[in-house]
Chains A and B, each alone.
Chain A
Amino acid sequence: MSEANALLFIAGALMMGLGALGAAVGIGILGGRFLEGAARQPELIPMLRTQFFIVMGLVDAVPMIAVGIAFYVLFAVAG
């Protein structure tokens, strides 16, 4: 395997790993706060859940994009 090809694999791994790392912390904090809010005011759960999913969709987009591009790099460019 050439050095350029090996670098492509490392690039794909970094993309997936770092993207997942950031989003995991973010969604963890978000979920924790959602539970706190739900425990404090259970009557707000339907409203909170909608907002939770909106923000989760916003945060989740970034690692999913990274996974898609990483797979493209790993399988179509390097493979």
Chain B
Amino acid sequence: MAVEGEALTASGYIRHHLQNLTFGQHPDGSWGIAHGAEEASEMGFLALHLDTLFFSIGLAVLFLWFFHKVGKQASAGVPGAAQNFVEWIIDFINENVRGSFSGKNDLVAPLAATLFIWILLQNLMDLVPVDLIPWIATAIGIPYMKVVPTTDPNATFGMAIGVFILVLYYSFKMKGAKGFAAELTLHPFESKNPFVMVLFVPINLLLEGVNLLAKPVSHSLRLFGNLYAGEMIFILIALMYSGGIFIGAFGVVLQWAWAVFHVLIVLLQAFIFMVLTIVYLDMAHQVPDDH
């Protein structure tokens, strides 16, 4: 599976699998696809990961198309299998939003449903055999292909920063600029004495600021790290196929066992991303009683 000029070694195989199909501007000024990690990093900030974009947008279109189709055909009579399935997912998300969101906002439940199903579909791409899609891509002339969009930090940071912008927006809207500033500066240290309180303000701002900024970082890195580790282990097990028939057969068993275990991680991480989104938005909606 190596590109010409690249020796087929274990680390080369791993690096090849972890390289995104990057589109950007070459140092000489022309636009095109990067061949290798060095060229990709030379492109700098304005580079697009075509494979991440293709698979994430493709899965989003698939999800919207399927749910739209089922929603249009929904009947009050005996539901079909597809309608049952969609109703079950919507009920599940509805229950979770009701359980952890106390404010009043029509956006949160659809947002949670979109994030959960979209991330779940992206994560499920991990269960496609690691070599299958890159092999097809190589056959039609695409040198690099990283299939799982959530193993690209750009995708997970994109989603987490989207949620973070909503958190900031609703913090301003619900608490007002004054209330939001008070939340950032008047906790956790408080004092009755106004002079001591003035001293506490920068310390509180620092603590609360770090707390606020850590949210999108941990939110996205948690999803990325889990999926990246899972993908990494799939690739390493795939390396065993080159080790003779016995190690190869053992690799098949391991691949299956890891896939079964990975289904749990895939579901759990999509679920946790959704729950944290709901909780962060809930915190943004809570107006404190005093101050």
Contacts and interface: CB of A to CB of B under 8 A. Distances in A.
Interface of A: 53-54, 56-58, 60-61, 64-65, 67-69, 71-72, 75-77, 79
Contacts of B221: 65
Contacts of A60: 265, 268
24 contacts: A53-B268, A54-B271, A56-B268, A57-B268, A57-B271, A57-B272, A61-B222, A61-B226, A61-B269, A61-B272, A64-B229, A68-B228, A68-B230, A68-B231, A68-B232, A68-B233, A71-B229, A71-B232, A72-B14, A75-B10, A75-B11, A75-B236, A76-B14, A79-B11
Given A54-B271, A64-B226, A65-B221, 5 more contacts: A58-B222, A60-B265, A61-B226, A65-B228, A72-B18
A65 B15 contact: no
A56 B229 CA distance: 17
Q: Interface size for chain B: under 10, 10 to 19, 20 to 34, or 35 or more residues?
A: 20 to 34
Contacts of B231: 68
Contacts of A71: 229, 232-233, 236
A78 to B, nearest CB: 8
A60 B232 CA distance: 17
Contact of B269 (A57, A72, A75, A76): A57
B275 A65 contact: no
Contacts of A79: 10-11, 14
A72 B268 contact: no
A64 B225 contact: yes
A9 to B, nearest CB: 13
Nearest to A63: B229
Main secondary structure of the interface of B (DSSP, over half): helix
Interface of B: 10-11, 14-15, 18, 221-222, 225-226, 228-233, 236, 239, 265, 268-269, 271-272, 275
B153 to A, nearest CB: 12
B254 to A, nearest CB: 14
A76 B236 CA distance: 10
A68 B225 contact: yes
A26 B233 CA distance: 24
Q: Which 9 A-B pairs have the closest CB atoms?
A: A68-B229, A65-B225, A57-B268, A76-B14, A79-B11, A61-B222, A57-B272, A68-B232, A64-B229
Contacts of B236: 71, 75
B275 A54 contact: yes
Nearest to B223: A61
B229 A67 contact: yes
A13 to B, nearest CB: 16
Contacts of A64: 225-226, 229-230, 265
Contacts of A67: 229, 233
A65 B10 CA distance: 21
Interface centre among B225, B228, B231, B271 (most CB of A within 10 A): B225
Contacts of A57: 268-269, 271-272
A75 B268 CA distance: 27
Contacts of B18: 72, 76
